[in-house]
């Protein structure tokens, strides 16, 4: 409605708004941020969730940590010049490996750990 209409033509439920708002008046509405604060909160929650998931998986609490690994390095001895002797086990079998910068070579299969321990003690 226009403010220039006579007061007698207005109904009881019609609202009139002032055409100008003088500076410093008490009815001045606060400025809105447009949701920028909520965006930062959402980004922080997503980032925190991703960091928690990464930490959870890294520390071994995930499904990959529950699987028993059948491959293990039991012992390592350095030979010098980046060469090593390694005793590795896989599925209950043990192997002596030679490790050098050029590659890895199986030197000999070894007895099972329980059998080797029984032979040494008798």
- pLDDT tens digits in sequence order for the chain, 122 residues long: 455 556 566 677 777 777 765 555 555 555 565 667 888 899 999 999 999 988 887 776 656 555 667 889 999 999 999 999 999 998 889 999 999 999 999 999 998 766 555 455 55
Q: What's the confidence (pLDDT) of residue 21?
A: 57
Rounded Cα distance between 108 and 114, Å, is: 18
Q: How many Å from the N-terminal Cα to the C-terminal Cα in the chain?
A: 109
Rounded Cα distance between 76 and 79, Å, is: 10
Which residue, 49, 97, 88, is CA-closest to 70?
Answer: 88
Which residue, 98, 61, 64, is CA-closest to 81?
Answer: 98
């Amino acid at each position: 409605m226009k403010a220039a209409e006579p007061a007698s033509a207005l109904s009881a439920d019609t609202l009139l708004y002032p055409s100008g708002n003088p500076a410093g008046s008490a009815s001045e509405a606060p400025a809105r941020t447009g949701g920028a604060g909520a965006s930062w909160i959402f980004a922080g929650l997503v980032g925190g969730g991703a960091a928690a998931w990464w930490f959870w998986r890294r520390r071994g609490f995930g499904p990959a940590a529950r699987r028993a690994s059948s491959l293990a390095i039991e012992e390592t001895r350095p030979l010098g010049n980046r060469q090593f002797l390694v005793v590795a086990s896989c599925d209950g079998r043990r192997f002596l490996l030679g490790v050098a910068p050029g590659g890895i070579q199986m030197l000999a299969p070894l007895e099972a750990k329980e059998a080797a321990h029984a032979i040494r003690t008798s």
